Chain A
Amino acid sequence: MTIRFDLSEGSLRAQSHYRQVALDQMRPISRKYDLAEHALPREWVDYWWREGRFGAKGGAALANDGFVTICLQAEQLCWGDAGLYLRMPTPALGGSAVSAAGTKEQQAKFMAGFREVGGQPIWGAMAITEPHAGSDAAAIETTAEFDPATDEWILNGTKIFCTAGEGASTEPGGFVVVWATLDKAAGRAAIKSFVVPAGTPGMQLLGCEKKLGIRASDTATLRFENCRVPKDNLLGRAEVKKQEAAKAGEASSKDSSKDSSKDKGFKGAMATFDASRPIVAAMATGVGRAALEFLIEELARQGVVIRYDAPPRERTAIEKDVIEMEADLQAARLLTWRAAWMMNKGRPNNLEASMAKAKAGLAVTKITQKAVQILGPLGHSRKLLVEKWMRDAKINDIYEGTQQINQLIVARRILDYSSAVLR
């Protein structure tokens, strides 16, 4: 063990492989599906299902950097196109929830379809957000009621902003993990997650949002009306723990990563964010890098080469901006890798995951906006992708915990405050 920044062979292979995938499969259709907002990017989805999901040939045999390698994949593919990345047929966040909180049987059952060779593409999704509950996930109102007569859970409510929700709710074999409360009065302790297989009667796709960016991604509204799922589709245990209810204020982000066992109810559900935030941070870094690389190349085409050795007072405004953008992007990337590396080590990374997400979300928001600004008319033009990257980048500072929510988590950690004290 020692501090080192060289990537393993497997990581390097993944990096170059996914860069090529991004160049060959994503960039050429990037604008097409930005314009065709709700269309299914057929060529991309088919490619991913047929080939993409199996990774680089021979890559699996090489030593890799675990979650850091996954972050590299996310970064490269979002360098290609963040919207298309979110539209890939994968279990996505739904899969993370099943892996984190599901039993062996549940994992085998729900993930099987994603391992099948051949067949039709399928999707997984996670539905937490509701019209009146976003950042405050504990305020959700979707209910789950047990029907002893049929041994089923009955879900009622409306979920919004569900990424990949269209595919996951309609294509047989996929599923949506839905958060619901067993007892609104019991607070966080009563919030559980349920696997709702695609096509389950009572789950209805109401439509997809029109958005600023990541337009290739289906952001769905799902309605649950007496939607019945088998008893075993509950992830974790059904009882509402007393002490968790008592410590409700302590739950959520604060303690989520302290213990790693399954069934921790709301805490366990929130802990999946410790795994997903570094990936979102890596996705952000990919979009930011796309814009920054393009900016540097375009400047070079115009004869402006960034001088890293010019003394501070001789640097042009553009050089100053670009160097600052590069430093911010690299700081975000390294914070991301650190959070991912901690997962490899099985260490609690709640603080570091939020640090990475907060830094990356804001850094790439600023970097892409600055790129548009520096490039002037080129920045605004839809002939190029810079304006799209600016629109795509912004979501990273919003979902998976907004900038402010991640600042809250970091602040609670460094101050040793509970979410009741600092909210």
Chain B
Amino acid sequence: MIDFEPSEEQALIIETVHQFAENEIRPRSRETDESGVPPQALLAAAHELGLVANGLPEAMGGGGARSALTGALIAEELGWGDMALALAILSPGLVGFPVADHGAESLRRRVLPGLLGPSFVPGSLALVEPRFDFDVFHPKTTARRDGDAYRIDGLKCHVPWLAGGRHVVVIACESEGTGSGAAGPLAAFVVERDAAGLRAEPEQNMGLCGLPTAELVLEGVRVPAESRLAASDADLRRLIDRGRIAIAATALGAARAAFEVARDYARQRETFGQPIATRQAIAFKLADMAIEIDGARLLVWEAAAALDAGAEAARQVRLAQDQTARVALVVADSAVQVFGGHGYIRDYLPEMSLRNLAGLASYEALALV
């Protein structure tokens, strides 16, 4: 029976997260974008809401209520507040969810309690690699069996790297021989952030400046076999799909924020004696923004519901991710245009929206649901 109504519980979550985004996140959005450092107090306050913990296993002290759909609803509201801060807030899930889903018992005991403790502990996922032809399902980073351990080599970028994090999940291709060809299946490893052979260099990017990220150089990083997640290639593809939904939902929230400020601005900005919103050139742009945001959101929901149902969802996720990337950029650009010269100025939201929402296609799994 088809239904577009969030459950009562989801509605409550949306409301709570929206309030938080409005009162706590949005007011710190610009200053964080400029400083590049998310306020620790904000992260602590977000941690108290238990948004990530709610999806972690009950046996470990989590809420045991993992849902890609609910996760997407949360991510959208957080992203509405600020996209970079949303990703910072969700970062514990980058380690927590893969370990909860696929980690050996000993690994879960080593990693999860830290994430579920009283203070905020960020997580990191190293997936994307700094090359224009990066193929998320065939990374060049390799993992080679080396006795009772693995040896990881490669280069990663766009790795969320907030202060105080302990672990990073590294996605690599399992490789047999010694050549550089990495044609094996995907494999994931939990690596200590201070492991020998791992070097993190802070990144400077056009957008998401409020989210500290790093480029990782992995040279002969050795991890015990236990740190390898028991996840098949197919499992990891699904994990990546969950990341795509998380990013898409967050971006939709950010696009919705851009739309809303543009709509409100258009109603009060007057030219030639009338609000610009009374001109069709502006009004129709706003109408299209609203239509496309809603359409993309429904694609994201549908894909998330398919993931939750355990159904084959790769195609739906692809449609949702692509559509969102397209829509978010058009919406952000339209918001700048509606603001005119003011849209170019850093006092207003649209210029940040445009920086954050450009190049979405290269943001894979900066968050997970």
Q: List CB contacts (< 8 Å) of A393-423 with chain B.
A: 404, 407-408, 410-411, 414-415, 417, 421-422
Tell me if A324 is interfacial: C-beta within 8 Å of chain B: yes
B301–A8 touching, CB < 8 Å: no
Query: Counting CB contacts under 8 A, is A212 at the interface?
Result: no
List chain B residues, Cβ under 8 A from A330.
Answer: 299, 302, 319
Q: Does A2 contact B (CB under 8 A)?
A: yes
Shortest beta-carbon distance from A288 to chain B in Å? 14
Binds A, one of B34-42, B95-103, B277-285: B277-285
Residues of A contacting B296 in the complex (Cβ-Cβ under 8 angstroms) = 331
Say yes or no: A5 contacts B319, CB within 8 Å. no
| Residue of B266, B278, B319 ringed by the most chain A CB atoms within 10 A | B319
B-chain residues with CB within 8 Å of residue A410 when the two chains form the complex:
287, 290-291
A341 to B2, CA, bound (A): 8
Flag if A338 contacts B299 (CB, 8 Å). no
**Across-interface contacts of A5 in B (CB, < 8 A):** 2, 301-302, 305-306
Residue in A closest to B320 when the chains form the complex, CB atoms: A327
Interface contact A334-B314, CB-CB below 8 Å: no
Residues of B within 8 A of A190 (CB): none
Does A355 reach chain B (CB closer than 8 Å)?
Answer: yes
In the complex, A91→B320 CA distance in Å? Answer: 38
Question: Is the CB of B318 closer than 8 A to any CB of chain A?
Answer: yes
- In the complex, what distance in Å separates the CA atom of A326 from the CA atom of B7? 28
Per DSSP, chain A at the interface is helix
**B301: chain A residues within 8 A (beta carbon):** 3, 5
Q: Which residue of B lies closest to A355 (CB)?
A: B291
**Nearest-Cβ distance from residue A279 to partner chain B, whole angstroms:** 16
Q: Which residues of B contact A8 (CB under 8 A)?
A: 1-2
Min CB gap B148→A, angstroms: 33
CB pair A417–B1 under 8 Å, yes or no, is: no
Question: Are B288 and A1 neighbours in the complex by a CB distance under 8 Å?
Answer: no
Question: By the criterion CB–CB under 8 Å, are A1 and B5 in contact?
Answer: yes
Contact B278 A417 (CB under 8 A): yes
| Chain A, residue nearest B260 (CB) | A414
| Contact assessment for B267 and A415 in the assembled complex, using a CB-CB cutoff below 8 Å | yes
Residues in chain B near residue A309, CB distance under 8 A = 137, 237, 314, 318
Pairwise interchain contact A327-B322, C-beta atoms closer than 8 A: yes
Task: State the CA gap A8–B2 with chains docked (Å).
Answer: 7
Residues of A in contact (CB 8 Å), total: 47
* A314 contacts across to B, CB distance below 8 A: 133, 135
The verdict on B347 contacting chain A, using a C-beta distance below 8 Å, is no
The verdict on A7 contacting chain B, using a C-beta distance below 8 Å, is: yes
Partner of B318, one of A7, A65, A308, A355: A308
Distance, CA A415 to CA B69, complexed state (A): 29
Q: Which of A2, A311, A415, A421 contacts B3 (CB 8 A)?
A: A2
Choose from B3, B288, B290, B326 the contact partner of A4 (Cβ within 8 Å).
B3
Residues B326 and A324 in contact, CB atoms below 8 Å apart = yes
Contact across chains for A2 and B7 when beta carbons are under 8 A apart: yes
Any chain B CB within 8 A of the CB of A305?
no
- In the assembled complex, which residues on chain A have CB atoms less than 8 Å from the CB atom of B299? 327, 330-331, 334
Q: How far apart are A62's CB and chain B's nearest CB, in angstroms?
A: 11
Tell yes or no: A335 within 8 A of B by CB.
yes
Contact residues in A for B8 (Cβ distance below 8 Å): 1
A224 at the interface (CB under 8 A from B): no
B294 is an interface residue with CB less than 8 A from chain A: yes
Interchain Cβ contacts within 8 Å, total number: 147
Q: How far in angstroms is the closest Cβ of chain B from A251?
A: 18
Q: Determine which of A7, A11, A323, A342 lies in contact with B319 in the assembled complex, contact meaning CB atoms within 8 Å.
A: A323
Q: Which residue of B lies closest to A63 (CB)?
A: B1
CA distance A332 to B302 in the complex (A): 13
Chain B residue, CB-CB nearest to A10: B1
B residues 122-150 touching A (CB-CB < 8 Å):
132-137
B61 in the interface (beta carbon within 8 A): no
Residue among A68, A327, A414 making CB contact with B2, cutoff 8 Å: A68
- CB nearest neighbor in A for B304: A3
**CA–CA, A412 to B280, complex, Å?**
10
User: In the complex the two chains form, is A6's CB within 8 Å of B6's CB?
Assistant: no
Number of interface residues of B (CB under 8 A): 50
Question: How far is A47 from B17 in the complex, measured between Cα atoms in Å?
Answer: 55
Contact B284 A411 (CB under 8 A): yes
Interface flags, B318-361, vs A, CB<8A=1, else 0: 11101100100000000000000000000000000000000001
CB distance from A360 to the nearest CB of B (A): 10
Complex CA gap A352/B298 in Å reads: 13
Contact B2 A324 (CB under 8 A): no
Which chain B residues border A1 with CB–CB below 8 Å?
Answer: 3, 5-8
A331 touches which one: B1, B10, B323 (CB < 8 A)?
A: B323
| Chain A residues with CB under 8 A of B295 | 328, 331-332, 334-335, 355, 359
Contact A415 B277 (CB under 8 A): yes
A104 an interface residue at 8 Å Cβ cutoff?
no
Q: Is A85 interfacial (CB-CB < 8 Å)?
A: no
Cβ contacts under 8 Å, B133 to chain A: 311, 313-314
Residue of B nearest to A11 (CB): B2
Q: A327-B299, A422-B283 are in contact. Are A407 and B1 (CB under 8 A)?
A: no
A65 touches B1 (CB 8 A): yes
Q: Is A303 an interface residue (CB 8 A)?
A: no
Distance in angstroms from A413 CB to nearest chain B CB is 9
Q: Assess whether A337 is interfacial by the CB under 8 Å rule.
A: yes
Beta-carbon contact of B287 and A2 below 8 Å: no
> Is A290's CB within 8 Å of the partner chain B?
no
**Chain A contacts for B320, CB-based, 8 A:** 327
Question: What distance in Å separates the Cβ of A391 from its nearest Cβ neighbour in chain B?
Answer: 25
Q: In the complex, how many angstroms separate the beta carbon of A406 from the nearest chain B beta carbon? A: 8
Q: Report chain B residues within 8 Å CB of A359.
A: 291-292, 295
User: How long is the Cα–Cα vector from A338 to B291 in the complex, in angstroms?
Assistant: 12
In the bound complex, CA of A96 to CA of B296 (Å): 31
Closest to B134 in A: A311
Interface residues of A in 307-345 (CB under 8 A from B): 308-314, 323-324, 326-328, 330-332, 334-335, 337-338, 341-342
Q: Which of B3, B134, B135, B237 contacts A341 (CB 8 A)?
A: B3
Asked if A414 meets B137 with Cβ closer than 8 Å, knowing A324-B326, A334-B299, the reply is no
Is the CB of A358 closer than 8 A to any CB of chain B?
Answer: yes
A310 to B52, CA, bound (A): 30
Q: How far is the CA of A310 from the CA of B290 in the complex (A)?
A: 30
Q: A313-B132, A415-B267 are in contact. Are A326 and B4 (CB under 8 A)?
A: no
Could you list some 25 contacts between A and B, CB below 8 A? A1-B5, A2-B5, A3-B3, A3-B305, A6-B309, A8-B1, A11-B2, A308-B314, A309-B237, A311-B133, A311-B137, A312-B361, A314-B133, A324-B326, A326-B319, A327-B320, A330-B319, A337-B2, A337-B4, A341-B3, A342-B4, A410-B287, A411-B277, A415-B263, A422-B278
Interface residues of A (CB under 8 A from B): 1-8, 11, 63, 65, 68, 308-314, 323-324, 326-328, 330-332, 334-335, 337-338, 341-342, 352, 355, 358-359, 404, 407-408, 410-411, 414-415, 417, 421-422
A-B complex: 3 closest residue pairs judged by Cβ atoms: A331-B295, A334-B298, A411-B283
